[in-house]
Amino acid sequence: MHEDWRRDLPLLAAPDIQADAVDGMRKRLAELLEDPALLARYRTAMDGQAVGRMVPSLPYIDGTHVHPHLRVRLTTAAPCWRSARTW
């Protein structure tokens, strides 16, 4: 399925070829959106690939820090929704 979306776009092609490419993408997208398992397939494909995000909700500390230029970044990966990958 990835090859459907990773093709080069015919940006410099004739207008009729560009129109055919857009029409093909439109038809393929309509087919994919009819799949009731689309979100489950997306979740499976993206499982564990999300990068951690900084959450700036650290506890309040009053006073001077020991190292005022020290920066802390807390991140975590997304949980895995399945036990093993099947490639």
pLDDT digits (tens, 9 = 90+) for 14-72: 999 999 999 999 998 999 899 999 989 888 887 777 666 666 666 666 666 666 676 76
Confirm whether pTM is higher than 0.75. Answer: no
Among 5-9, 62-66, 68-72, 75-79, name the most confident range.
5-9
Query: Are 47 and 33 contacting, i.e. CB atoms less than 8 angstroms apart?
Result: no
